[in-house]
Structure 1
Amino acid sequence: MSATEEAMNRRIVLARRPEGEPGVEDFRLEAGPVPEPGPGEMLCRTLYLSVDPYMRGRMNAGPSYAPSVGLGDVMVGGSVSRVLASRLEGYVPGDLVAGFNGWQDYALSDGTRIRRVDPELAPPPAFLGALGMTGLTAYVGLFDIADPQPGETVAVAAAAGAVGSMVVQLATLRGCRVVAIAGSPAKCGYLREVLGADVALDYHDPNFPETLEAACPQGIDVYFENVGGAVFEAVLPLLNIGARVPVCGQIAHYNDSGNPLPGPDSLPRLMMWVLGRRLRMQGFIVGDHLDRLPDFVREMGGWLREGRIRHYEDIVDGLENAPAAFIDMLRGGNLGKRLIRVVPEDAAGA
């Protein structure tokens, strides 16, 4: 009897749709048999799972840029896995792959949305962070959409998170002055002392709007937006004429209920700023930019090898702890990229 025949496949499924902030009771841990690969399929053993803010939106019903998770279905999410058995040409047992197997121990794949993990390039967890979708989000949003120039001021929200920490370093590589915004003094210290931000500010400071203005005497040329809320309110008056604002998230509003559009008083005010300052604001979804993946991997891989980009994975052990780790991440409890280590790499079979 094979190891997979003896094992069970644990799965974390969506038990109910949350109202406001999700709770652990919105998830359910189930177990079932490990699937067997059919022709053109391979069986993957999950090593690491990614937990990301976008998953909160996938828990809701209704239209969005991506389908909702169905009740009783496995939670979506990126993964790094080891191939255990393969009937798919080009893949053999022992291969490491990155894909979207969701919150479960084992998954079948036909190779769609799968890429190989090269442990010589970086440790496997990095393929969910610095070399994964979060790194690509930072790369596309900053370089393709904002295109900051040396000497310009770049402000970064959620700067100690998975995407923000990459943006801080990429903007520094471009020769920009970086103003990083985070949620604690410890995170601000990390941004200054480790990642090289010129200024790091705690948005919980009651004087945050004033300290932000003082930190940006020449205004803000690029604002990398993934938060919304009070941070955006403080940044908006400081944006220079022609400022660029790539928008990849609005985590401050993900638990809001009702109509996500701004109220009747705030929208005209926002549009007046857009018009008067000739702002260029562009929302983007990283999945629309996968054509940039080869260039991104080549450049980011080089910067990682040279030590010019640092990556930090905030790892929580145990599939069963994914719901609590996800909720904590939404509250800002992570530093860098939050991952779940489902099983140690050397215990996942080959």
Structure 2
Amino acid sequence: MTTKQHKEIHLANRPEGMPTNDDFNFVEKEIPTPAENEVLLKTLYLSVDPYMRGRMRDVKSYIPPFELNQALVGGVLAEVVESNSDLFEKGDIVSSNLSWSEYNVADAAKLQKVDPTAAPITAHLSVLGLTGLTAYFGLLDIAKPQAGETIVVSGAAGAVGSIVGQLAKIKGARVVGIAGSDEKIDYLINELGFDAAVNYKKDSFKEDLIAALPNGVDVYFDNVGGDISDAVMKELNKHARVTVCGAISSYNSVDGDIGPRIQGQFIKTSAMMKGFTLGDYAKDLPTGVAALTQWLQEGKLKYDETIVEGFENTPEAFLGLFKGTNLGKQLVKVADPAFAKL
């Protein structure tokens, strides 16, 4: 295998505003050879996620920026095709943060083995992976929803928001989603069981939002920021909790994010706002996976995936996140397993 070539996707430029295909570069390299305690992995699926846009900027953050002319890194589902470790054998399916490459060599100790009998393997990049766990800890640990409370979720038809709403329903809350098309509104109400949903692209958005919130807002799970969040903040109840998970509305902003001053609103309502990343819960991830797996197997959780076929289409799949083209988790299918018995 070491004589064969494979492709990687490198960051060619640091985008100003919305990224374009010119900001990505496909580079051909030799397939690497695993050393002792390493495995050679064939990429099956890539996860593309909004947070990756922030890593394209050379600024201080909770995680280092991507390096120019180096492979981008994200969630990967892969098959072991060669193993120099006792931990894995050929045909095992694993997940990890790996390069956007058709093949990777990885330290076996840093990989998570995927049980293909627990759920379809792609679930480990969505409802049982980064996005599902983000929803789990961001809602249940930070917001602590109570039965009868009203929970508002922005980006509600996305990978995180769709799980947040369902978890809130499991806890007995009333759930109002915010999404960007009538099709997504219908999906949230009739497929996922949200109590109400509002289309933020309609001219009547603010009026529709107020109508959907006769009892105000006890918890706001914020995935988008911007004008949408400005509107929700005005409806906060006493002791409301705001979980700040994402701000996708500003990720491609050139001039920075500008909005109203919210301190007075939080003083008047004794509300709490807290941001987080999943890394804050690194030690607790197994607990989250176990709970999500149980709810999934009991039929209490549904999830959707938007899957783009072909490694060459990865940049387009990433750019689609900022156009709202995905329903649920956005994935790229790179290859079928060659050895796994699924």
Pairwise same-fold verdict (TM > 0.5): yes
Residue 204 of structure 2 aligns with an amino acid whose one-letter code is N
Superposed CA deviations along residues 82-132 of structure 1, whole A, max 9, x for unmatched, are 111111231111111110112110111113542110011011100000000
SS, match of residue 78 in structure 1: strand
- Residue 15 of structure 2 corresponds to 18
SS, match of residue 90 in structure 1: coil
What are the within-5 Å matches in structure 2 for residues 16-55 of structure 1?
Answer: 16-55=13-52
SS, match of residue 333 in structure 1: coil
Superposed CA deviations along residues 56-78 of structure 1, whole A, max 9, x for unmatched, are 00111121111111111111110
Q: Distance in 1 between matches of 2:220 and 2:99?
A: 32
Q: Distance in 2 between matches of 1:147 and 1:45?
A: 40
Task: Confirm whether residue 326 of structure 1 aligns to residue 323 of structure 2.
Answer: no
- Residue 221 of structure 2 corresponds to 224
SS, match of residue 77 in structure 1: strand
Shift of 1:39: 1.3
Superposed CA deviations along residues 201-259 of structure 1, whole A, max 9, x for unmatched, are 10001111111111101000000011001110110110101100111110000011245
- Residue 286 of structure 1 corresponds to 278
- Residue 288 of structure 2 corresponds to 296
What are the within-5 Å matches in structure 2 for residues 1-350 of structure 1?
Answer: 4-5=1-2, 7-111=4-108, 113-259=110-256, 262=258, 266=260, 269-346=261-338
Shift of 1:6: 5.5
SS, match of residue 330 in structure 1: coil
SS, match of residue 25 in structure 2: strand
Shift of 1:22: 0.4
Q: Distance in 2 between matches of 1:191 and 1:42?
A: 41
TM-score by length of 1: 0.94
Instruction: Count how many residue pairs are aligned between Structure 1 and Structure 2.
Output: 342
SS, match of residue 163 in structure 1: helix
Shift of 1:133: 0.7
Q: Distance in 2 between matches of 1:129 and 1:306?
A: 17
Residue 279 of structure 1 aligns with an amino acid whose one-letter code is A
- Contact kept, 8 Å, 1:225 with 1:249, in 2: the verdict is yes
TM-score by length of 2: 0.97
Gaps of 5+ in 2: none
Q: Distance in 2 between matches of 1:47 and 1:171?
A: 32
When residues 348 and 89 of structure 1 are mapped into structure 2, their CA distance, relative to the original with a 3 A threshold, is closer
Residue 42 of structure 1 aligns with an amino acid whose one-letter code is V
Shift of 1:329: 1.2
Q: Distance in 2 between matches of 1:28 and 1:112?
A: 30
SS, match of residue 345 in structure 1: coil
When residues 148 and 219 of structure 1 are mapped into structure 2, their CA distance, relative to the original with a 3 A threshold, is same
Q: Distance in 2 between matches of 1:136 and 1:173?
A: 15
- Contact kept, 8 Å, 1:84 with 1:349, in 2: the verdict is no
Residue 157 of structure 1 aligns with an amino acid whose one-letter code is S
| Structure 1 segments (4+ residues) deviating >4 Å | 346-350
Gaps of 5+ in 1: none
When residues 113 and 222 of structure 1 are mapped into structure 2, their CA distance, relative to the original with a 3 A threshold, is farther
Identify which range, 5-14 or 284-293, moves more after superposition. 5-14
SS, match of residue 100 in structure 2: coil
Residue 118 of structure 1 aligns with an amino acid whose one-letter code is D
Identify which range, 284-293 or 332-341, moves more after superposition. 284-293
Residue 186 of structure 1 aligns with an amino acid whose one-letter code is E
Identity over the aligned pairs, expressed in percent?
Answer: 45
When residues 349 and 43 of structure 1 are mapped into structure 2, their CA distance, relative to the original with a 3 A threshold, is farther
SS, match of residue 9 in structure 1: strand
- Contact kept, 8 Å, 2:48 with 2:330, in 1: the verdict is yes
Residue 12 of structure 1 aligns with an amino acid whose one-letter code is I
Q: Distance in 2 between matches of 1:120 and 1:311?
A: 17
Residue 303 of structure 2 aligns with an amino acid whose one-letter code is H
Q: Distance in 2 between matches of 1:193 and 1:345?
A: 35
Residue 148 of structure 2 aligns with an amino acid whose one-letter code is G
